[in-house]
Amino acid sequence: MSNETIYVTGHIHPDTDSVASAIAYALFKRAMGYNAVACRLGELNYETKYLLEKFGFESPILLKDARKTLAEINLDSAESVKPEATIWETINMMNETGHQAYGVVDDDNKLCGMVTKSDLTSIALGDTAKGIELLKETPLESFVKVLDGKLLYEDKLNLNGKVSIIALTGKGIDSYEVKDRIVILGDNKEAQMHFIKSGAGLLVIVWTEWVDQEVLDLAKEYHCPIIVSGHGTMNTSRYIYFAPPVKLVMKTKLVTFHDNELVEDAGKKMMTTRYRSYPVVDDNNNLVGYVSRYHILNYKNKKIILVDHNEFSQSVRGIDKAQLLEVVDHHRINDFSTDQPVNFRNEIIGSSATIIATIFRENQIPIPQNLAGLLLGAILSDTLNFQSPTTTEKDHKTANILAALANLDLEKFGEELFSIDRGGADKPISERVNQDIKYFDIRGCRTMISQITVQSFSTMKESEQEIQRQLDIFAKKKDLDLFVVAFTSVLDKGSIFYGAGEKGRWVTEAFPDKEGENHSIQEGILSRKQQIVPKITEVVNRYS
């Protein structure tokens, strides 16, 4: 069984039923052996926060997109080299690991460049003119490293980058021009001293393990460093061109990706370049790995289970590109379609939490006491304490079972839930309407319906003008034809309606005021799905 994460999520503008169902179903899937986590798609309302705290649950993680970011796929490991690493060391690392490129990072792991194998081998195979320029800037310790050498005298380097290999044949040593050059020669004291006096920039001696003290004293006088090479003449002359540090040859104008970028976006950018591998960094420019076309071709987006909704317009961004596995819902089926078959469970019932609790019982998996309490709160919330017309006998029976498991008095818990201070009275109305809002296109009429649960209507009369002004602003900002806001009180057993937008007056036709009143209490109107939407639709159809 795959250990890949499965994300269980409710709808945008999460309510208690959505969040509790996600938490419970993720727990159920884990009990069945899957790596499932509960998610939310937005900020939690006060009621949901209250219940999570009461029963000891953490807020689910915030899921922003169903598509994977680079941080969520298996990148190639973030192996790297430091700027001071020699070309020789770097090529050997590439041969050992099979990597064709390395990021160059500083001591804080921040990316400062990139080197590729082709960049490095071109130095060995190319014209020595390029090597000369690099050797001018190469530090003494780099020469010691690549030559497996022993530094006999250290001094400041002053090199022109050229290399002279001294062969003591019939040609006199006076004929060699060695000023500021790297001079490679054998164990000949007279020649060593001559070339030091002639201004050699660096003496590299082969086929010996020691140098006469007189030579060392002269080197100090003329400021000429001396290295005894660990290789013969031929290899010394070859390896010396691999001594420059990679900071001298690395590319600094890089095509990089951030780990929070979507994989599909990275793939599109790759189509404009031809590199084999690309460094991936975090927000602090720390190297976290490498991505290649292989990763792009073989990745799949997140595995998702939807609870308490099935409309893609109500779901997480990118849901149409996800690996959708299951749906557990009690709403209408509208724009749902998938490329592959999915498990789809939809019941005519008052709450998704009722379905989730039933699934536990069907599979004989015990419901923990705190989870029973949370699911019970979700059922009461979504059925408006069983007053909603969507409530079924199954909701009642399931609630009774959960109350027993949670050791709660059903009636008292319901009273507690709907009498708590919902913590929204001091928030701007523009924030409150967004907590539970849904979009509908009713015969071309762009409509949004928001439902705000309040304790009672007693204090609302004082704020009528400000509420209407804010709703008018909201409707204009969202370019809505019709904006419907229902303030619903379970204790007062009804709703008060406001309308905004060009067709806002239609709300009064759907829910007429009593004679001499504005915004009358519409007794018994509690359900958006079965009562509010049908009445609004009826009026829209009348005028359309």
Q: Please tell me whether residues 135 and 216 are part of one structural domain.
A: yes
- The enclosing domain of 365 has a CATH number of 3.90.1640.10
**Is residue 478 included in any domain, yes or no?**
yes
% of the chain residues with pLDDT over 70:
97
CB 336 within 8 A of CB 312: yes
Domain of 519, CATH number, reads 3.10.310.20
Name the pLDDT band for 345 (thresholds 50, 70, 90): very high
Residue 266 belongs to some domain of the structure: no
pTM as predicted: 0.76
Domain membership flag for residue 292: no
CATH number of residue 220's parent domain: 3.40.1390.20
Question: Which residue, 419, 453, 468, sits at the end of a domain?
Answer: 419
User: Which whole number is the average pLDDT over 48-64?
Assistant: 97
Please report the pLDDT score of residue 170 as a whole number: 47
d(CA 324, CA 277): 30
- Which residue in this structure is represented by tokens 């849904």? 438
Same domain flag for 164 and 23: no
Determine the Cα–Cα distance for residues 53 and 339; give it in Å rounded to an integer: 39
Give the pLDDT score at 168. 62
The DSSP H or E segment spanning 268 is helix 263-270
Contacts 24+ apart (CB under 8 A), 512-521: 518/464, 519/460, 519/464, 520/496, 521/457, 521/492, 521/494, 521/495, 521/496
- Looking at 400, 419, 438, the residue that finishes a domain is 419
Residues 520 and 402 both lie in one domain: no
37 shares its domain with 171:
no
Q: How confident is the model at residue 270 (pLDDT cuts 50, 70, 90)?
A: very high
pLDDT at residue 529, rounded to an integer: 83
261 falls within a domain? no
DSSP lists the bridge partners of residue 526 as: none
Q: Do both 443 and 480 map to the same domain?
A: yes
Is residue 171 scored above 60 in pLDDT?
Answer: no
Domain count, the chain: 3
- Domain-ending residue, one of 186, 221, 248: 248
Kindly state whether residues 238 and 93 are assigned to the same domain. Answer: yes
Helix (H) or strand (E) holding 279: strand 278-281
Q: What is the pLDDT of residue 422?
A: 59
Average confidence (pLDDT) over 71-79: 94
> CA 356 to CA 370: how far, in whole Å?
15
What is the domain extent for residue 34?
6-67+302-419
- Other C-beta atoms closer than 10 Å to the C-beta of 73 total 18
Question: 483 lies in a domain?
Answer: yes
Distances (CA, A) of 361 to 33, 314, 402: 17, 29, 11
Are 405 and 310 part of one and the same domain?
Answer: yes
Task: State how far the Cα of 484 lies from the Cα of 507, in Å rounded to an integer.
Answer: 7
Is 308 in the same domain as 346? yes
Residues 92, 158 within the same domain = yes
Structure confidence at residue 437 (pLDDT):
87
DSSP state, residue 426: T
Give, as one character, the DSSP assignment of residue 200: B
pLDDT digits (tens, 9 = 90+) for 508-528: 999 999 988 888 999 999 888
Spatial CB neighbours of 380, under 8 Å, sequence gap ≥ 6: 386, 399, 413, 414, 417, 418
Q: How confident is the model at residue 421 (pLDDT cuts 50, 70, 90)?
A: low
- Indicate whether 361 belongs to any domain: yes
Q: Decide if 217 is inside a domain.
A: yes
pLDDT band at 544; cut points 50, 70, 90: confident
The tokens for 130 are 């390029």
CA dist 162 and 403 (Å) reads 88
Does 196 lie in the same domain as 122? yes
Q: What does each C-alpha distance from 492 to 499, 523, 527 come to in angstroms?
A: 21, 8, 14
211 and 308 assigned to the same domain: no
Residue 128 lies in a domain: yes
What pLDDT is recorded for position 424?
59
pLDDT of residue 152 exceeding 70: yes
Q: What is the DSSP string of 70-81?
A: GGGS-PBP--EE
Q: What is the rounded average pLDDT for all residues in the chain?
A: 92
Q: Measuring CA to CA, which residue among 320, 375, 338 is closest to residue 26?
A: 375
Structure-model confidence comparison of residues 385 and 491, the more confident one? 385
Clarify whether residues 446 and 527 are in a common domain. Answer: yes
